[in-house]
A and B are shown apart, each in its own frame.
Chain A
Amino acid sequence: MEKLARAHVLVCGGTGCSSSGSKIIIPALREKLQAKGMEDEVRVVETGCHGLCEMGPLVIVYPEGVFYVRVKPEDVDEIVETHLVKGRTITRLLYREATTLETVPGYDKIAFYKKQKRYALANCGHINPESLEEYIGADGYEGLAKALDMTPEAVIEEIKASGLRGRGGGGFPTGLKWQFTRAASGDKKYVICNADEGDPGAFMDRSVLEGDPHRIIEGMAVCGYAIGSDEGYIYCRAEYPLAIKRLRNAIAQAREAGLLGEGILSGKFNFDLHIKEGAGAFVCGEETALMASIEGRRGMPRPRPPFPANSGLWGKPTNINNVETFANVPSIMRDGAGYFASQGTETSKGTKVFALTGKINNTGLAEVPMGITMREIIYEIGGGISDGRNFKAVQIGGPSGGCLPESLLDLPIDYESLTRAGAMMGSGGLVVMDETTCMVDVARYFLNFTQDESCGKCTPCREGTKRMLEILNRICEGMGKEEDIPLLENLAKSIKGASLCALGQTAPNPVLSTLSFFRDEYEAHIREHRCPAGACAALIGYTITDKCRGCGLCKKACPAGAISGETKNVHVIDKKTCVRCGECQAKCPFNAIDKS
C-alpha cells in the first residue's frame, strides 16, 4: 500500500494560475521535497480552478487548509522549510481581505468563499482533474449508476422536479427539453454539450471542463440514457487547449473503466463521446449554427422550428445543453432533486456560476444560489470596487445582456427578474464598472463585438448592427445629433423583431439598457460634447494650470510632442497635436494638469 501522505499541497493548475506561474511552482515544489527526502510524506496535487484567479497562483496546504496566494517560485523553499517541515504558517503569503486588510489563514474563512454555494464547482480545485479515482472519491459516477437503475422516464421526472434550467443563456427547463427529445421519433439520437463559451470575459465553462471533466461526461451519459441516445459530441472552442486535453484524457479513462462505450456498468446501455473543436466564432454557440459546424458546414443559424429535439444533428433528434447545465446533473441524480430544488427562487432553482470581472477587487469565479442580490456578489464576494472608486453599473449577460445601475443592486437575481430589468442571465458574465467608465462607450464596445461576430446571413442583424455602431461611434466622437437617440431606439426595435437568431434579437440590449438607465450620459455627449466619465478620448482635453513648476517631465512623457515650455516656466499643451492619452497627467509630480 502507498504510504499515507501526511500533507497534501494543492496547486491550482487552471488557465488563470498557470499563466501567472503555477506551472513552475509545481516542479519546484517536487524538487525541493525530494531534496529533503519528503516526497513520500507530502503529496503535490495539481488541481483545477479555485475561482480566486486575481490572487493566483494559489497554493493550499492540507491538513490545515492554509490558503497561500500569489506564490512565486522563490517562495517554494520557505513553504517547504517553514510550513511543511516545521508546521508554521507563513503569514506574508496569506490572503488579505480587500475590505478589512486582515490576513485570513483558512480557505473556508475567506469572504470570497463564505457566501458561495459550490455545487457545479464542488470539485474544482479540490481534486486532481486527471484522475478518475479522485472523481470517484468525490462521489463521481454514482449519479449515473443510480440513473441506470431507474427507467429513462423516471430520470427525466427527477430532472424536471429539480427545476434545473439551461445555463447557456435561454433558461429553458432542462427536463422538458429531454422529454421532447425522448418523445421525438427516430432510431438515432444525439447528445451535444455546448462548450463554445463565446461571451467576452466568461470562463465558467472552461473552469468546469478543466477542473472536473468527468462531471460533464457523467452528465451527458445520464442524458443519453434518458433520451435514448448512444452518441454524444462536446463542441469546445479550440482556444481552450487545456480543457480539450483534460476532456480527452477523461474520456479515455472512462472508456477503459467501462463508464463509456458498450455495456456501461455491465448493463445494456451504450454511450460514447466525441470532441469537436470549434474555431471560436461567437455565433457557433447558437445551437443550430453549432450543429452545422459539427456537420462540417459553415456555422450559420437556421430558423427554428424545427427544433433540435426533433431535427438536429444530421437531421436526427438532438438534445443540446450547456456545460454548466450538464455539470449539475450528476449531483441531482445522486442526491435526488430535493436539495437542488430547495435552493434559489420560485422560478429559478439551484445555483449559478458567475465570472466576475472589471473594476472589482476579487475578480474570479463565484457560484452562488439563485436569488442572491447583486450587492452581495459585488461587495461581499467581490470585495467591492477597486482603487476606492464608486460603483456605477454592472453589465450582466454579455453581449445580449444589459447594464444595471446602483438602484437595482438589491434585486434578487433570477432569470425573470433580470429580464424584467432589461438585462438577462445570459451565461453568467458580470462586468463591474466604476465612475470612470463611460456608458455610451460600453454600449459601443458590446455592439462592436456583436457587429463583428454577426454571421451576415440575415439583413437586420448584418446591416442594422452596423448602422447602430456608426451612430454610437459618432456620439463618442462628439458628433452625435439630437435625433440619434430616437434613431437608435427605432433601429433597435427593428433588429430585435426581425433578426433570424438570438444574436441579432438581443444585440441591441446593451444600447437599450444604457439608454434607459444612463440616458443623461448620451445627452451630455450629444448636447454638450462632454463625456461625464472622462473616458471618450475625443471629448476630453488636458490643460496645465499655474501649479506647474516647469520640471519638464510632462514634455518628456508626451508621445505626440504636444507640450512646450522653458524649464522653470509654466508649460502649455497644444490642443491640436494632443492625442489625449493622459500620460502627462500621470507623470506630473505637482498635480498641475487638469482633465476636462
Chain B
Amino acid sequence: MNIKNLADLRRIKEQVKSETSSRRENETQIIVGMGTCGIAAGARAVMMAVLDEVTKRSLRNVSVMQTGCIGMCQKEPLVDVVRPGEPRITYGNVKPEDIPRIVSDHLVNGRVVSDLVVARL
C-alpha cells in the first residue's frame, strides 16, 4: 500500500468505516429472530443471506442484529426492519431468497414488502 495524498487517505477511511460500521448502533436495523425456534426454522441461512446482501450493497449505516424468541414461533424465521421514524415491520416465514427484496425495497428504499408482513409495531 502506498499512500500518496489526502484523497488516498480518504478512500481508505471510507472503506474502513464501512467495515467497522458494526461498531456503532445504527438507527436503521435489520433484526433476525435467533431463538431456538428461529434457528430450527432456518434462521441461520437467513442471517447469512442478510449479511451477504448488506455486504454486496456496501450498506454503511445499517446494524444487523439478532433477537430471541418473541412468541410467534410458527411464523419463524422472523425478520424485523427498523427505519428511523417509521413503524417496525415484522416479516414471517422468511426464506433466504426473500432477503434481497426485503433489503432493497424496504431497508434501502422504505417500501414495505406487503406480502411477507406479519406484524407492524
Contacts and interface: CB of A to CB of B under 8 A. Distances in A.
A62 B23 contact: yes
A257 B24 CA distance: 28
Contacts of A1: 55-56
A6 B20 contact: no
B13 A139 contact: yes
Contacts of A134: 16, 20
A63 B25 contact: yes
B111 to A, nearest CB: 23
Contact of B22 (A6, A136, A141, A265): A6
B104 interface: no
Given A87-B67, A142-B6, A5 B16 contact: no
Nearest to A263: B4
Given A3-B51, A64-B65, A88-B68, A145 B22 contact: no
A126 B56 CA distance: 25
B34 A257 contact: no
Given A3-B51, A257-B3, A136 B64 contact: no
The interface residues of chain B, by DSSP majority, are classed as: helix
B101 interface: no
Interface in A36-91: 40-41, 43, 62-65, 85-88
A566 interface: no
Given A7-B22, A62-B22, A88-B68, A145 B34 contact: no
Interface in B1-52: 1-6, 9-10, 12-13, 15-26, 31, 34-35, 39, 47-48, 50-52
Nearest to A266: B4
Contacts of B23: 8, 10, 62-63, 126
A4 B51 contact: yes
A88 B38 CA distance: 14
A146 B5 CA distance: 10
B2 A258 contact: yes
Contacts of B25: 62-65
A6 B63 CA distance: 7
A78 to B, nearest CB: 14
Contacts of A257: 1-3
Contact of B3 (A3, A85, A265): A265
Contact of A145 (B6, B56, B65): B6
B19 A41 contact: no
B54 interface: yes
Contact of B5 (A6, A62, A64, A145): A145
Nearest to A5: B22
- Between A62, A86, A132, the greatest number of chain B beta carbons within 10 A of the residue's beta carbon is seen for A86
B66 interface: yes
Nearest to A254: B3
8 contacts: A6-B50, A10-B23, A41-B48, A63-B22, A64-B25, A87-B65, A133-B15, A137-B12
Given A3-B51, A136-B12, A136-B13, 20 more contacts: A2-B19, A4-B21, A4-B55, A6-B22, A6-B47, A6-B63, A6-B64, A8-B22, A8-B23, A62-B24, A63-B24, A63-B25, A133-B12, A139-B13, A256-B2, A257-B1, A257-B3, A258-B2, A265-B4, A266-B4
